Amino acid sequence: MKVCVFGAGAIGGYLAARLIHAGGEHQVSVVARGAQLRGIVDGGLRLLAQDEDFIVRPHAVTDSPCQLAPQDLVFVALKSHAQPAAARDIAALLGPDGAAVFVNNGIPWWWTYHGEAAPDARPLPLLDPQAALWNSVGPARAMGCVVYSANEIVQPGVVRHVANNQWLLGEPDRTRSPRLLAAVELMRHAGLQATAAADIRHCVWVKLLRNAPLNTICALTRLPADGLSGTPGLVDLCAAVIDEVVAIAAADGSDVSGQAENAKAALGLGAAVDGSRATIRPSMLQDVLQNRRMEVDAILGQVQAFARASATPCPTIDTLLPLLRGLGQGIA
C-alpha cells in the first residue's frame, strides 16, 4: 500500500514516524514544508518517547505532492484552515480507489455528507469557503479521524510524544467500509491505538466538550490547562461552554450529555484536551505563543453556526468567539 502523511507537524510527524517504523511492505511518504521539511531531509524523522528514541526515513519526503505517485491512503494532518488551499494537491495524490483520512480538530469540512443516498449535502462555508475540498477531493473519498495524543516539535525533524495514543476513525456515512478497516489495521500494526468508530460525528462532539472550552480559554489567557483552576471563574466559564456544546450537539443529533460531567471534572484536575494532566498547552495556545493562525472556525466558529441554524442559545460562545477572532487578527 502506498501511504502519504500530508502535513508533518506534531501529530502528522508522530503518525508518520510510527507508520514508517513499523516497516512491512507499505511505502510511507511525507509532505512537509519549511524547517520541518529541511530537518527530515537532512537528518530523517526522529521520534522521542518515554521509552523510545528512533530515527526513520520516509520512502519520499517533499513539499511538492505532484512528485509522488498516486497513493492508496492519504492522512491529511494539516490544520483545518490550511486544508482548502491544499485541496487540489490532496485530490491529485489519490489513486483511483484512494481515500483521504482527515485528522481534524473540531468540525471537519465533510460534515453534512451522509452518503450517496443523501444528495442534498452542501459544503460548510466557514470551513470550505470556495468548496475547494468538496469539489476537488469530494466527501465520498474522505474519512474522519479524531485524535487524543499530545505531541510537540522540539526542533525541525524531531517530534516528542508526550502522552496518549488514541485514534478514532470513521466514515461519514457510518459504514464499516473495507477502506476504513484497512486504515485501522495499518495503524494498529504501527502501534497506534486505532478504532473504527460507528459514529465519527459523535466522537467529534465528545472531543469538543474539552476542545472548545480549553483551547479558547487557554488561548485567550495564555494559561496552560492546569493553570485555569487557579483563577476564579475560569473553570466556571469552561463549564458554561461545555453545557452549550451539549445543547448544540443534541440539536445536531448527538447526545453527549453523558460525557459532559467527565469533561467538567477534568477541568478541575487540569486535564488537557488529550486527557493528560498538564502543563501541556492546547493547540490554540501553542499557536498563539508561536504567532501562528489558530483553528478558530473548526473548533468554535462552526459550532456557533450550528447553534444559529438550530436556534440554540449559546451566550458564552457568542461572547468568546469575537474575542478569539480578535486575538487571531492581532496575530495575523
Handedness of CA 220, 126, 105, 136 (dihedral sign): negative
Handedness of CA 144, 149, 150, 154 (dihedral sign): negative
CA distance 133 to 123: 9
| Phi and psi at residue 234, to the nearest 5° | -70, -40
Q: Residue 14's closest CA among 197, 158, 110, 181?
A: 158
Helix, coil or strand: residue 173: coil
207 catalytic residue (yes or no): yes
Q: Spell out the alpha helix ranges (H) of the chain.
A: 10-21, 34-43, 87-93, 132-136, 178-189, 200-221, 234-251, 257-269, 283-289, 296, 302-310, 315-331
CA distance 194 to 106: 19
Task: Give the type of residue at 65.
Answer: P
Helix, coil or strand: residue 180: helix
Map grid coordinates 511518504 to a residue: 29
Q: Residue 188's closest CA among 19, 5, 7?
A: 19
CB 228 within 8 Å of CB 270:
yes
Q: Give the active site residue among 2, 79, 207, 264.
A: 207
| Phi and psi at residue 255, to the nearest 5° | -95, 105
Q: How is residue 296 written as a grid cell?
A: 478558530
CA distance 195 to 187: 9
Antiparallel, parallel or unpaired: β 158-170 and 142-155:
antiparallel
CA distance 229 to 210: 14
Q: Looking at the annotation, which residues are catalytic?
A: 207
